């Protein structure tokens, strides 16, 4: 992951509503959530939610899929893995194998086919 992509992801997550959206969708895994359900769950107005979802999608942290008249949102697992890898790529004094237990602990293989 390039630093500009990492900065976009961190910038997207540095706002409370966007962080709450991301964390909520992480809990949903491959199931994702419809935009309206996200708005209801977080008590966010639809237009505010929409703007925040666009930022998260553009940062590579979410993906979406149209389902009829609704749009369903999912965490982009590949984007999340890239961000976590970026954070840990130089860990342990240039010996990333020493960080393998941490990486294994936080790795998620859910959503492999969709991300």
99: in domain = yes
Q: Which helix (H) or strand (E) holds 57?
A: helix 46-58
53: in domain = yes
Q: Regarding predicted confidence, which is higher, 64 or 80?
A: 64
Instruction: Round to whole Å and give the CA distance between 86 and 110.
Output: 20
pLDDT for 71 equals 96
Residue 53 has pLDDT above 80, yes or no: yes
115: in domain = no
Cα distances (Å, whole numbers) of residue 35 to 11, 24, 54, 63, 114: 21, 12, 11, 12, 18
| Residue-range definition of the domain harbouring residue 24 | 3-106
- Kindly report which listed range (15-19, 83-87, 89-93) carries the lowest average pLDDT score: 89-93
111: in domain = no
How many domains is the chain built from? 1
Domain with residue 55: its CATH number is: 1.10.10.10
**pLDDT tens, 25-52?**
999 999 999 999 999 999 999 999 999 9
């Amino acid at each position: 992951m390039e630093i500009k992509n990492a900065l976009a992801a961190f910038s997207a997550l540095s706002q409370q509503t966007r962080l709450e959206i991301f964390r909520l969708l992480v809990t949903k895994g491959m199931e994702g959530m419809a935009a309206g359900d996200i708005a209801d769950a977080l008590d966010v107005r639809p237009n505010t939610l929409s703007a925040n979802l666009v930022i998260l999608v553009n940062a590579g942290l979410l993906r979406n899929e149209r389902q009829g008249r609704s749009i369903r949102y999912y965490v982009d697992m590949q984007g999340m893995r890239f961000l976590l890898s970026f954070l840990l790529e130089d860990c342990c004094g240039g010996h990333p194998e020493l960080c393998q237990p941490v990486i294994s602990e936080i790795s998620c293989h859910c959503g492999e086919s969709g991300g």
